[in-house]
Structure 1
Amino acid sequence: MRKQQDFGKYLIIVLALVLSIGWLYPFFLIFINSFKTQSEILSNIVGLPEQITLANYPNAFYAMNYVSGFGNSLIITVASVVLTVIFSAMAAYVLQRRDSKFSTFIYYFCGVTMLIPFQAIMIPLVNLFSQINLLNRTGLTIMNIGFSVSLSVYLYYGTMRGISTELDDAARVDGASRVDIFFKVILPMLKPTTVTIVILNGMKIWNDYLLPSLVVNQEGMRTLPLELYSFFGEFTTQWELALTGLILAIIPIIILFVFLQKYFIEGIGEGATKL
């Protein structure tokens, strides 16, 4: 019995290592090829660089208008994530605390809407926003919120099931209003789930290409994924700049994840066990 347990433990470790290597290998290729010239990438994409070329980074930085793209991505991502957190937490709080058939219907409706693919509503949605002159960063932010709220409400709702209503009653006895109860009592207790939602939605919005390409594909409003596409021409591709640009684009989101990973794992576990 002991040997079987040890074998199972070692098997899981080996599988985890294999999966980790398989997941990290593409990122390793992107990283090493960002230090190569175009000709060296085409001749040997999997080998280490024969001579490290640092010029790709400043060249890609200026060629992809990194400052403009980074600013647009940051504004859209931060605004979308912050508003998603506020609206989703407030909605989940009301739905969970009001035990009615209507609240239950809205809760399950949020779950159902997650099954609708964006591609199914893409054309009519863009046409609608075009008619009301919202094909800009504001319109993109509204769309991001709409596509992020359902999952966020679902996660918040599951976490709030574990928060006793006695806290609400105690705060109400002390003279706190419903708004005070939510922001001063409930919201601080949702920190792990909030971090999970920030990371999930932040990564999705920051890396998104399709929706921004339909809404803000104009000069001065392009996000980093759209600026990266400038390296892929009709007949040629500047691989050395494209791969370097990918590194520059994913660095901010990696930094975010590294700083918040502890709360992210805690929030995933907490939300999963209370749904």
Structure 2
Amino acid sequence: MSKVVVTLVLSIVLVLFVSPFVLVIINVFKPMSDITANPLSLVGKHGFTFDNFIEAMEKMRFWTVAANSTIITVSATVLTVLVSAMAAYVIVRNPRWKAGAILFSLMIASMVIPFQVLMVPLVSVYGGMFHVLNDRLTLILMHVGFSVSLATFMFHGAIRTNIPMELEEAAEIDGCSKWGTFWKVVFPLLKPTIATVTIIDAMAFWNDYLLPSLVLGRKELYTIPIATQAFYGTYSTDIGLIMAALLLAMLPILILYVFLQRFIVEGVTAGAVKG
């Protein structure tokens, strides 16, 4: 009886989570009049249409904003993975290094600070004093700075738990340097954690609206989340165009998740048990 109840509850939760996505899928191929008339119908009176996608791509300059989002997301994610993995390795393999322990503690402490607290100082300092806003590189480095603490924490647990010192000692006996040992022995063994960090950060960077809206003021630098605001009018909103834009924005990160999802559970639990 308990299994039946659990299955029923989980089924209801699944329907609640999936239904908004299904509504987007079935309405994105309808004109605005059909969406308004009957949003729950599978096919509208005017049949299927791809006009929403075509108009959305033209209005938001999709290829330009998609290129901006790709450059920013890929660069920030790669830098976050590399910097965090190297920082965690140095901290784990030098337990007596007090500066490393203090740095790691500060990283953990910084994770509880909400971004909203830093918004005004961020714009004031980097925009008013240094004049470095409206630049992709600035946004990339800010993304890395805000995400490196969590990523270092995850790599720290994975290295400490799953990578034995004997492997590194064997590599050193064979003449491998510390630098070579990290890249040839340690880093390849961190694949599950790398995949997990990549998914978490890539989704965050790709979907982020608040930070890019503060840093990027020129239209040619807009990312996809900022560009979708073009469909929200003061007096009217075309729901079909919004759905098409959101679906276009979601597909790349969804494809990335499908390819890397098998590593996520393994990566999240990699540092959960202390060895």
Q: How does 1:67-146 map to 2 (within 5 A)?
A: 67-100=63-96, 101-130=98-127, 131-135=129-133, 136-146=135-145
- 1:159/1:274 contact within 8 Å kept: no
Structure 1 stretch displaced more, 74-83 or 124-133: 124-133
CA distance in 2, matches of 1:129, 1:255: 35
The count of aligned residue pairs is 269
Q: How does 1:1-275 map to 2 (within 5 A)?
A: 7-50=1-44, 51-100=47-96, 101-130=98-127, 131-135=129-133, 136-162=135-161, 163-274=163-274
Q: How does the TM-score come out when normalised to structure 1?
A: 0.93
Q: Give the C-alpha shift of residue 124 in structure 1.
A: 0.6
Q: Give the C-alpha shift of residue 53 in structure 1.
A: 2.1
- 2:26/2:43 contact within 8 Å kept: yes
Q: Give the C-alpha shift of residue 16 in structure 1.
A: 2.7
Q: How does the TM-score come out when normalised to structure 2?
A: 0.93
- 2:160/2:271 contact within 8 Å kept: no
CA distance in 1, matches of 2:59, 2:91: 48
CA distance in 2, matches of 1:231, 1:203: 22
CA distance in 2, matches of 1:202, 1:196: 10
Q: Give the C-alpha shift of residue 274 in structure 1.
A: 4.4
2:132 aligned partner, one-letter code: L
State percent identity of aligned pairs: 40
Structure 1 stretch displaced more, 262-271 or 236-245: 262-271
2:154 aligned partner, one-letter code: L
CA distance in 2, matches of 1:12, 1:187: 41
- 1:217/1:226 contact within 8 Å kept: no
Q: Give the C-alpha shift of residue 20 in structure 1.
A: 1.9
Q: Secondary structure at the match of 1:271?
A: coil
Q: Give the C-alpha shift of residue 176 in structure 1.
A: 1.3
1:53 aligned partner, one-letter code: T
- 1:232/1:238 contact within 8 Å kept: yes
CA distance in 2, matches of 1:215, 1:11: 49
